[in-house]
Amino acid sequence: MIKRLPLLVILLVSFFAQAQVLKPVKWIFSVKEISETEAELILKATVEKGWHLYAQDIPPDGPIPTSFKFNKSADYELSGKVVEPKPIEEFDNMFGMTIKYFASDVGFKQKIKIRNKAEFITTGEVEFMVCDDQKCLPPEVVEFSFVINKGKTENNSKPEITKDNIGTGSVIPQMDTLNKVDSAAITVVQTPDDGKCHLKTFNGASAETKGEFSYWGFMLLAFLAGLAALLTPCVFPMIPMTVTFFLKTAETRSVAIRNGVLYGLSIIAIYTLAGTLVSVLIGPEFANWLSTHWFPNILFFLIFMVFAASFLGMFEITLPSSWVNAIDKKADKGGIAGLIFMAFTLVLVSFSCTGPIVGGILVESARGEFFKPMLGMFAFSLAFALPFSLFAIFPNWLSNLPKSGGWLNSVKVTLGFLELALGLKFLSIADQTYHWGILDREINIALWIVIFSLLGLYFLGKIKTPHDSPVHHISVPRMMLALVTFSFVVYLIPGMFGAPLKALSGYLPPQATHDFDLVHKLEVATGTETKTCGEPIYGNILHLPHNLNGYFDYEQGMACAKELGKPVFIDFTGHGCVNCREMEANVWSDPAVLKILREDFVVIALYVDDKTELPENDWYTSKYDGKKKKTIGAQNADFQICSFDNNAQPYYITLDHQGELLHIPTAYNLEVSDFLKFLNDAKAEFLKTTQK
């Protein structure tokens, strides 16, 4: 017998015990006219056998009571409270208390006084929770709406319930319901999947091109994603930390092997556990928060600057003496605390870059999946941990090289300069998502020119750090490194005047932030700007690449597409999306692609990580996760997940004027020919649909 088990624990246990999504309660809403000035709103719940829907009056430590919220309106006023029939009242073993509940169909009633308006819509929401004898389901909120026709009791027509006549910014699931009118009441019947996301399909195929492959196939893709994550700028600078730590702790070969294996297992365990918990308890939106919110990005920027200063010889980073003593005492046991600390540091810092990659894995939680995201995170972290474990097992690969001391310090100094350069990426992400305007593209390039010029001078021996060995002559390897570094500096210089610098497009702020952009001025002078219907909403803070004109609001872009008779091209993108910038620089820049986007489509760029908060009347509750969506980015990300079951960027969609897919969406692919085929096929489908 479970006595007074905390509600949170009950919900967690219940969630893991479920193999599918359960919907034991369905709601039907209707209106009964009492007189010309009074009506009764009926909210009927159909409860499946074996489940309990709780009454409105429940003790504080018990389950969530059923509650109703009616939005205020000048058209009516509530008359009393919601009335419910007499519930069953008995002792509940799960909660250890006497609780009131309903075990079958139950009707709740709310009387209202109608004011002067002849016809209006009443909206609100009901929050409820259900349990059976073994488990409880998480609390659920269902939105409702009633059409009130004052004094009309016979069959008549009434306006369709739409977003426009309910209120700006409100997403009402009742728009998907069937409206039935009889002589006594106006009834709105909720469909079984009301309040849920409705995925768009093309010719019967899901928007997200999923194959029916096995878990092994999914794990293989996750493993390859882990290998790709090693190439991100957040991961590479962590290598010297790993090497330095294990050089100090590996006294013998057996200790090195043991440390390396434990380190790799720690990375796998942390990533798998963290990813699974995020998937089940928080959702894929957390990955977006970690990679785009100002706090983690500024924190990681400061961490990189501190480590850069340390590698350049300003000071030595050491663990607190108490930690070091504790690790030393456990040396015979493998220094597990230190290994876990290093593994956790790696996972935390790298997750800012790997978050968008694992987002595709975490989105599996949208359908109640558990084992699939867990297996995916395991495969991802296995690939991710391999090189770090090898460095841990064989740290003498560096220490046994000729002149190991001086050479190793040169490596640390070089990586210190690289961390200065790469750390700017975190500051840039925060700057772009919050529109601070402190690190525009030309400022970033100028800083890189200075940093890499200093690095080149270091290779030539013109600059020395405190721990450098004397340089009596410049070796051939150092000369070659200096040559490469100064060549990179020369490559950067045209970027100060607006050159695209395609190879670095994913690591630099967007071209639109460049103040002195000669390329843009030339495009304007030659008249290559895209013609649109009017000034785009958010056009003062958001921009499209290559002087493309478009929109940043879905509704405005769709309206323009209808006006111009063109199909819609949607770009799900982000300020901190490296692959988005690479696609724009290497694929969108192709003349044939630009011509099609300018002339044949209305382009809508939906930034999923923009933190600009919208007016309160534009907020809405997500059908996907039940959370309030208050910012531009949160609403765009929710739209992508809810409509296309995908939360990775870039993600490209083509739609007709009814919002239907014209082609299976595409994502990151640097093959220009494939992208052209995607656009041309969508154009052809649009023409065919239009002719029909």
321 inside domain? yes
pLDDT at 255 over 90: no
Q: What is the pLDDT of residue 240?
A: 55
Same domain for 252 and 384? yes
Using a cut of 0.95, tell me whether the model's pTM lies above it. no
Paired with 97 in beta bridges are 92
521 inside domain? no
Same domain for 267 and 146? no
Mind listing the pLDDT tens digit for each residue in 543-566?
Answer: 898 888 899 999 999 999 999 999
Mind listing the pLDDT tens digit for each residue in 425-442?
Answer: 888 888 887 888 888 889
CATH of the domain at 59: 2.60.40.1250
Distance from CA of residue 342 to its chain's centroid?
A: 26
Residue 480: both structure tokens together: 């070659």
Q: Which of 407, 433, 467 is the last residue in one of the domains?
A: 407
CA distance 174 to 178: 9
Q: Which of 407, 428, 453 is the last residue in one of the domains?
A: 407
- Can you tell me the mean pLDDT for 162-173? 32
464 inside domain? no
Same domain for 158 and 288? no
605 inside domain? yes
User: What is the full DSSP assignment across 91-120?
Assistant: EETTTTEEEEEE-S-EEEEEEEEE-S-SEE
CATH of the domain at 619: 3.40.30.10
Q: Which of 374, 390, 407 is the last residue in one of the domains?
A: 407
- The mean-pLDDT minimum among 274-288, 392-406, 412-426 falls in 392-406
Same domain for 116 and 247? no
Same domain for 579 and 628? yes
- Can you tell me the mean pLDDT for 191-213? 52
CA distance 357 to 352: 10
pLDDT at 577 over 80: no
Q: What is the pLDDT of residue 506?
A: 64
593 inside domain? yes
Mind listing the pLDDT tens digit for each residue in 639-661?
Answer: 988 888 887 788 999 999 988 89
Helix axes 285-292, 404-434, angle to 10 degrees: 110
Top pLDDT among 426 and 340 is at 426
Q: Which secondary structure element, helix H or strand E, spans residue 166, and what is its range?
A: helix 163-166
Same domain for 159 and 279? no
User: What is the full DSSP assignment across 473-517?
Assistant: S--HHHHHHHHHHHHHHHHHGGGGGT---GGGTTTS--GGG-SS-
Q: What is the pLDDT of residue 171?
A: 31
Q: Which domain holds residue 546?
A: 528-691
Same domain for 294 and 364? yes
Same domain for 682 and 548? yes
SS3 544: coil
589 inside domain? yes
Half-sphere exposure of 330 (CA within 13 A, CB side): 13
Same domain for 650 and 547? yes
496 inside domain? no
User: What is the full DSSP assignment across 334-387?
Assistant: T-HHHHHHHHHHHHHHHHHHHHHHHHHHHGGGGGT--HHHHHHHHHHHHHHHHH
pLDDT at 444 over 80: yes
CA distance 295 to 303: 12
53 inside domain? yes
Task: Domain count for the chain, please give it.
Answer: 3
Band (pLDDT 50/70/90 cuts) for residue 179 is: very low
Mind listing the pLDDT tens digit for each residue in 668-684?
Answer: 888 999 999 999 999 99
Same domain for 558 and 662? yes
Same domain for 277 and 155? no
Backbone angles phi, psi at 102, to 5 degrees: -120, 135
Paired with 147 in beta bridges are 121
Same domain for 615 and 561? yes
Band (pLDDT 50/70/90 cuts) for residue 283 is: low
- Sequence-separated (6 or more) residues with CB below 8 Å from residue 439: 424, 427, 428, 431, 509
Q: What is the pLDDT of residue 211?
A: 39
